[in-house]
Chains A and B, each alone.
Chain A
């Protein structure tokens, strides 16, 4: 059963009472919330996600609720709870939905050590998965959203999950988080896409989410082979530049973007080696969304031609 089979009212009621189970890539998430903003955004952005069975094991038990006490009457707030404990201070109530998204990111990075995790967007087309690691502001989510809007499969806009036994990347497709100027850029670039509400004055500025394609959700159980490791950097007033990066330097650079490489020790080293060995690696500077898309599309075409050459 998909979440879209619930009416907005039925979803809100289920969230208020026993909560709902969501299958998100390799994880099952149990979510409860009495906050209307959460139900609204989930109903719009998670419509295509399968609901997890009530009785199955859930990796994360999450609640987004108003804190107790009188304070919330004066200044309404939302609290993120995992296993009943709040790892963070409360945020304004109207940020309850992005709080859920940020909190879930934190849960995965904090607990999912069955994977080597890179802070990266991951997209795939015709069997070629591209990993785009990047710090905030590098433009990875904007590039990722635009590629997805042009038909690439979304594996993640936030995390590359590398399992232990293979370098094939495990998808965890979630709504693509856009910030500030990139929200309007994407709405203009891909008006056919579904966008969630804009949340203003958050710690990251204004944030909004783009709904992931139904096809990416449907294929969330299909890992993808990594072929391209691209370090994007958005910089206005520069020429587009795609430069091959040696595997040694790429290895060290990728380590910087890992959430848990140090934690995994020699196992993390071996997984990173498998990943690096499977990829062509590049530094990529781009001055605009169009230039970024053009550069990545041409690189993908070259890679595909090389893969399919006799």
Chain B
């Protein structure tokens, strides 16, 4: 299965603050402030620096959080990307 690459919307900027196990994020594009778990916040931060595809994100999560890059991580990532897209925080680069 071929996955699209993802990016944050143009002109959108992400600000992050970490508090223990929570991360609060401001998306300056939408003006939304929301709390994310650390993995979601890291993914959003990476995407705000440039487009990345699914496999690359898998590898980065696995490396940064010491999690095996298996099917459960793949499933988690798909669900996370879907959730971030629904909140207009990211978009596929192919669109």
> Which of A's residues lie within 8 Å of B, judged by CB?
246-249, 251-252, 255, 261-262, 265-266, 269-270, 273, 276-277
Instruction: Give B24's nearest chain A residue, CB to CB.
Output: A251
Cβ contact within 8 Å between A248 and B22? yes
B15 at the interface (CB under 8 A from A): yes
Interfacial chain A residues near B15, Cβ < 8 Å: 266, 269-270
Instruction: Give A281's nearest chain B residue, CB to CB.
Output: B19
How far apart are the CA atoms of A270 and B17 in the complex, in Å?
9
> Which of B's residues lie within 8 Å of A, judged by CB?
13, 15, 17, 19-20, 22-24, 26, 28, 31, 33-35
Cβ contact within 8 Å between B28 and A248? no
Nearest chain B CB to A162's CB is how many angstroms away? 15
The prevalent SS among residues of A at the interface is helix
The prevalent SS among residues of B at the interface is strand
Instruction: Give B26's nearest chain A residue, CB to CB.
Output: A269
Interfacial chain A residues near B22, Cβ < 8 Å: 246-249
What are 19 A-B residue pairs whose CB atoms fall within 8 Å in the complex? A246-B20, A246-B22, A247-B19, A247-B20, A248-B35, A249-B22, A249-B35, A251-B35, A252-B24, A252-B35, A261-B33, A262-B31, A265-B31, A266-B13, A266-B28, A269-B33, A270-B15, A273-B17, A273-B24
Cβ contact within 8 Å between B26 and A266? yes
How far apart are the CA atoms of A251 and B15 in the complex, in Å?
14
Q: Known: A248-B23, A266-B26, A266-B28. Contact between A255 and B33, CB under 8 A?
A: yes
How far apart are the CA atoms of A240 and B15 in the complex, in Å?
37
Nearest chain A CB to B84's CB is how many angstroms away? 17
How far apart are the CA atoms of A262 and B27 in the complex, in Å?
11
Cβ contact within 8 Å between B28 and A265? yes
How far apart are the CA atoms of A265 and B14 in the complex, in Å?
12
Instruction: Give B36's nearest chain A residue, CB to CB.
Output: A248
How far apart are the CA atoms of A98 and B23 in the complex, in Å?
42
Instruction: Give B37's nearest chain A residue, CB to CB.
Output: A248
Interfacial chain B residues near A266, Cβ < 8 Å: 13, 15, 26, 28
Interfacial chain B residues near A246, Cβ < 8 Å: 19-20, 22
How far apart are the CA atoms of A37 and B17 in the complex, in Å?
49
How far apart are the CA atoms of A261 and B28 in the complex, in Å?
12
How far apart are the CA atoms of A261 and B24 in the complex, in Å?
14
Nearest chain B CB to A79's CB is how many angstroms away? 35
Interfacial chain B residues near A276, Cβ < 8 Å: 17, 19
Interfacial chain A residues near B33, Cβ < 8 Å: 251-252, 255, 261, 269
Nearest chain B CB to A273's CB is how many angstroms away? 5
Interfacial chain A residues near B28, Cβ < 8 Å: 265-266
Interfacial chain B residues near A255, Cβ < 8 Å: 33
Q: Known: A262-B31, A265-B31, A269-B33. Contact between A251 and B26, CB under 8 A?
A: no
List 9 other contacts, CB 8 Å, given A248-B19, A262-B31: A246-B19, A248-B24, A251-B33, A252-B33, A252-B34, A252-B35, A269-B26, A276-B19, A277-B19
